Amino acid sequence: MENKHFLLIALPAQGHLNPMFQLGKCLIHAGAGRVTFATTAHGLTQVEAFPSLENLHYASFSDGFDDGIKPTNDPHRIRAELKRVGSQTLTELLLSLSKEGNPVSYLIYTLLLPWAADVARDMSIPSAFLCILSTTAFALCYCFFKERDGVYDSNDNGPPSSIEMPGLPLFTSKDMPSFLLPNDPHASILIPLFQHHIQALEKDSNPCVLLNTSDCLEEEAIRRISNLNPIPIGPLVSYAFLDENNSTDSSCGIDLFEKSTEYSQWLNSKPKGSVVYVSFGSLAVLQKNQMEKILLGLTGTCRPFLWVVRPSAGSDDREFEEKIRDKVNEEEGLIVPWCSQMEVLAHESIGCFMMHCGWNSTLESLATGVPVVGFPQFSDQTTNAKMVEEVWRTGVRARVNDDGTLEAEEIERCLEMVMGGGQRGEEIRRNAKKWKGLTLEAVMEGGSSYNNLNAFLEKIE
């Protein structure tokens, strides 16, 4: 295995880079040989710091926007350029690595890069798709495309109002990935991309989908896509916070934002299980009135909170964020621009995670045993919130108004339900502890995900 060379490629988004980077670490620890981690040329310049590991190397390809994508760029042009220029420059990267004496043995690509499989096939390089969505969300997409061909007919028969998968609750339109719905602003871009993903896998005589999940977490969804050769190898989160006895790993990950350093001491000053940690990921942008309602709800609970509020680009937004910060005294809460999320979630003072239910964050909540209040925004987040509330039962999904607004009173209700002394809260905390144990068991030596990854590597010629 030592002479193998894995090329991992991902787009420069926090939720894409980190699971792929964690996979790279797993490959190196498993003795897989050389790993090259590649993202776009502009993305490479945005990373705060590159973790250094033996046998890990970095490279880039072009997406056609080496100076960065602007908000005014047409999304359809972005998609077309990414495929056209990305295919060309990925081919050049593969040829360059081969010329240097480091030919790529295996290519692993992730979401929104289905053309990478076509490039690999043309160069006779085997490839695998790393699914960074929940497997449940991916299986729902697969059901949609296989049963409806991903097309809404003009008479409306548009997406199904519900989808059933054996062993799981009924998924209605509010639970399905948002981009499957015709009124979603990203549907016209993402639906063709997902079609391309599935077509690329079906063209492959030996398809492979690496899943950022474990057998026990999403058994039914894994079974639904069995013909794509799914291999659960997750959760792909930092081992340092899953196993305190594991000294081979560290908390390092890839960050596109500068982390604050002030929160550790603040957390140390708080009682066990008392703090509400609040973060809505790296992409969601909340309206000002929604942020004010969140602040009102948090302060209304009289529980200490740590809230991640990313700095905005616009001066008006920055001024508003400063006003939000000024309203909070250090005794009741702390607002930071970014943090090491696994470090925070693993801290004993954390009692609840109020979040968007992005898949990485959901996995991190499961891995650390932290109960959840979900406020999903888009993509697979609605699906993940359904799983949190009704399948794993490790949290609740907050109810929103018809316009999607989350009221302060609902925040207080949910936090009290999860962190209070009632029967529902006790059940949620008990389930969170149970799933933490099962998650840790899967990735440790001899666990299902550990064994699946090693079996995958053994089959690579």
- E strand or H helix at 34, and its extent? strand 34-40
Burial class (CB in 10 A: 0-12, 13-18, 19+), 313: exposed
Q: Give strand pairing partners of 354.
A: 278, 373
- How many Cβ atoms sit within 10 Å of the Cβ of residue 452? 20
Catalytic residue of the set 16, 197, 347, 356: 16
Q: Give CA–CA dist 359/379, Å, rounded.
A: 10
235: cis peptide before it, omega within 30°?
yes
Closest CA to 239 of 53, 391, 384, 39: 53
The DSSP 8-state label assigned to residue 258 in this structure reads P
Biggest alpha carbon–alpha carbon distance for the chain: 65
Q: Give strand pairing partners of 172.
A: 162
The answer to whether residue 197 is catalytic is no
Burial class (CB in 10 A: 0-12, 13-18, 19+), 256: middle
Three-state secondary structure readout of 326-383: HCCCCCCEEEECCCCHHHHHCCCCEEEEEECCCHHHHHHHHHHCCCEEECCCCCCHHH
Classify each residue of 270-281 as buried b or exposed e, where b means 16 or more C-beta atoms within 10 Å of its C-beta. Answer: beeebbbbbbbb
Give me 350's structure tokens: 């954390």
Q: Give strand pairing partners of 209.
A: 129, 230
Q: Are 317 and 238 in contact (CB under 8 A)?
A: no
The order of strands in the sheet holding 106-109 is 56-61, 34-40, 5-9, 106-109, 127-131, 209-211, 230-232
Q: How far apart are the first and last CA of the chain?
A: 9
Listed in order, strand segments (DSSP E) in 145-283 are 162-163, 171-172, 209-211, 230-232, 275-279
Give me 165's structure tokens: 């998968």
Question: Which residues have a catalytic role annotated?
Answer: 16
